[in-house]
Amino acid sequence: GNYLSRPCAAPPVARGVGFVGRAAVHIPNRSMHAHFSIALVLSFSAVTAGWGTGMPRQGSRLARHGVSVRMDGTYAPAAANEIPTSNAVNDPRPKKVLVLGGDGFCGWPTSLHLSEQGHDVIIVDNLSRRNIDTELGVSSLTPIATPQVRVEAWKEVSGKDVRFINMDLAKDYDLFLQLLKQEQPDSIVHFAEQRAAPYSMKSSRHKRYTIDNNVGATHNVLAAIVESGLDIHLVHLGTMGVYGYGNSGGEIPEGYIDVILPGGREKRILHPAYPGSIYHTTKCLDALLFQFYVQNDGVRVTDLHQGIVWGTNTEQTSRDERLVNRFDYDGDYGTVLNRFLMQGALGIPLTVYGTGGQTRALIHVSDTCRCIELAVNNPPKSGSPVEILNQVAETACVRDLAQLVSDKTGTPLQFVTNPRKEAAENPLDVANQKFKLLGLDPILLDSAEGLLEEVESITKKYKDRCDVKAVVSKSYWNRDRAAAAAEKTDEVKLSVKA
């Protein structure tokens, strides 16, 4: 069914004014028209020609991926009764799964969830996220155990084995290839990328590291799959940020759009890329690598464009203190809703960037695990294009999220200079029909009171581990953003409520 869509609340006249307005993801049921930069669409199609075959005419599957773009720039959604095309086949048998980046915020709970469902899980991680904690001088709010202690604790509480291998995918190609040949996994889940947009923008060194690490790791994985000669299904965790925000002019489809080229030629291409940071750019580059290796070598790839993840623990990570998931609250790695919940619970003013009119897609960490399971259990058929799904539950405006937390905790909002170069206000309407057709019933904020309180409870329990100086982002997108922040050096006043 369809969910109610509401616009983002109007920008407050005075700080702290607003109401909770949420635009939930839904199947379109109304006419929408906007304009693409058709030149960008066509230039992108020249690079990412998708599956460069002619498209069938209207009446078959022309618009089933959500939109059609014509040479006059008009854009319209597919009809509400059209079902998105999927090339997946149901394969629920237990599998051997490598979880790359399985020690991280999303990777760890996903590893346990897949193990719980009967899959044989091997975590591969170089612990780079823990090393970045040391670099930044800030740790997870929750005290996380070592990987060795974690997997031993999981064995104690579940009776299931999860193995851990320390390996740098961007550098240890030969070791990874050997691992594939030895273990012969059915599936690979790829989380092993530097995941924070602010961290990727801190300096030229951080930009270069993010490009080298993320693109290098992804390409090594793809090359090793081909060289191994094994038929391995790759599930990659991407980001909604590849689409940009407010650029589509309507509902964002699941990966592909259909365009009409001069002479009436029909073509399906990837949605144009509008990365908003170096991190997001790496995900766009990943997408191009997937297109090449799928077309050239027949690798089976599922690319999941995920929204911002909130929450901390899942059913599995809650079973033992040694299994607790990491909780990032700092300005570089803390995701927006988690950061607000932490600030609200500790009485720290909720730092809203700019007007707070940025609308973003959200998903709870438990649903991340469920979506990965669905992707592993529904791989693309051999010879299929890259299977792309939007891994989101709903969309929400940032200032409305802040007001939601403020109403719950009594903590005021504090609007600060936005360190990012982005639109002050943007709409966001996202298709997520594919996961719904696979059976996902996502957690929505309207029904997640207990989960919100769980995050607040965790922040209160570990408040002594909080470094309030780390809450505000000090990573600026460019010199202009840094200069704007420098003009208001006294705008953020931080303190923890006793």
- State both tokens at 404: 């939601």
Q: Does residue 279 have an active-site annotation?
A: yes
Rounded distance between C-alpha atoms, residue 365 and residue 369, angstroms: 7
* pLDDT at 256 exceeding the cut of 70: yes
Mean residue pLDDT across the chain = 85
Rounded distance between C-alpha atoms, residue 112 and residue 375, angstroms: 16
The pairing of strands 34-35 and 74-77 is antiparallel
Pairwise pLDDT comparison (399 vs 66), residue with the higher score: 399
- State both tokens at 194: 């530097």
What pTM, to 2 d.p., does this model score? 0.86
* pLDDT at 234 exceeding the cut of 60: yes
Amino acid at position 72, single letter: D
Specify the pLDDT at position 495: 55
Integer-rounded Cα Rg, in Å, for the chain is 22
Any idea which residue has 């997937």 for tokens?
290
The model's confidence at residue 11, banded by pLDDT at 50, 70 and 90, is low
Rounded distance between C-alpha atoms, residue 271 and residue 221, angstroms: 24
Task: Calculate mean pLDDT across residues 142-163.
Answer: 98
* pLDDT at 78 exceeding the cut of 50: no
Query: How many other CB atoms are there within 10 angstroms of residue 445's CB atom?
Result: 21
Helix (H), strand (E) at residue 457:
helix 449-461
Q: What are the tens digits of pLDDT across the range 268-307?
A: 999 999 999 999 999 999 999 999 999 999 999 999 999 9
What percentage of the chain has pLDDT greater than the value 90?
77
Rounded distance between C-alpha atoms, residue 7 and residue 11, angstroms: 12
Pairwise pLDDT comparison (336 vs 81), residue with the higher score: 336
Rounded distance between C-alpha atoms, residue 45 and residue 40, angstroms: 8
Specify the pLDDT at position 488: 76
Specify the pLDDT at position 84: 64
Q: Is 87:380 a contact under the CB 8 Å cutoff?
A: yes
Calculate the CA 127 to chain-centre distance. 20
Q: What are the tens digits of pLDDT across the range 159-216?
A: 999 999 999 999 999 999 999 999 999 999 999 999 999 999 999 999 999 999 999 9
Specify the pLDDT at position 379: 98
Pairwise pLDDT comparison (93 vs 1), residue with the higher score: 93
Specify the pLDDT at position 26: 35
In the chain the first and final C-alpha atoms are separated, in Å, by: 45
Taking Cα atoms as reference points, which of 292, 272, 294, 300 lies closest to residue 375?
300
* pLDDT at 241 exceeding the cut of 60: yes
* pLDDT at 5 exceeding the cut of 80: no
The pairing of strands 67-69 and 256-261 is parallel
Rounded distance between C-alpha atoms, residue 416 and residue 343, angstroms: 15
Query: How many other CB atoms are there within 10 angstroms of residue 2's CB atom?
Result: 12
Amino acid at position 102, single letter: G
- State both tokens at 266: 């029909």
Amino acid at position 115, single letter: S
* pLDDT at 327 exceeding the cut of 90: yes
Q: Is 404:356 a contact under the CB 8 Å cutoff?
A: no
Query: How many other CB atoms are there within 10 angstroms of residue 148's CB atom?
Result: 10
Task: Calculate mean pLDDT across residues 128-156.
Answer: 98
How far are the Cα atoms of 80, 195, 234, 251, 425 from residue 72, in angstroms, in the given order? 23, 37, 37, 19, 26
Q: What are the tens digits of pLDDT across the range 98-122?
A: 999 999 999 999 999 999 999 999 9
* pLDDT at 87 exceeding the cut of 60: yes
Which stretches does DSSP call E strand in 25-119? Answer: 34-35, 67-69, 74-77, 96-100
Cα dihedral 176/181/187/189 (nearest 10):
-10
Any idea which residue has 């979880």 for tokens?
99
Question: Of the residues 210, 239, 355, 359, which is catalytic?
Answer: 239
Question: Of the residues 243, 283, 317, 476, which is catalytic?
Answer: 283
Specify the pLDDT at position 180: 98
Helices (H), 333-387: 336-346, 365-377
Rounded distance between C-alpha atoms, residue 107 and residue 347, angstroms: 30
Of 76-90, 99-113, 255-269, 415-429, the one with minimum mean pLDDT is 76-90
Q: What are the tens digits of pLDDT across the range 337-396?
A: 999 999 999 999 999 999 999 999 999 999 999 999 999 999 999 999 999 999 999 999
The pairing of strands 233-239 and 187-190 is parallel
Rounded distance between C-alpha atoms, residue 335 and residue 318, angstroms: 20
The model's confidence at residue 69, banded by pLDDT at 50, 70 and 90, is very low
Pairwise pLDDT comparison (354 vs 496), residue with the higher score: 354
Helices (H), 298-427: 336-346, 365-377, 398-409
Q: What are the tens digits of pLDDT across the range 456-491?
A: 999 999 999 999 999 989 999 999 999 999 987 545
Question: Of the residues 75, 279, 329, 476, which is catalytic?
Answer: 279
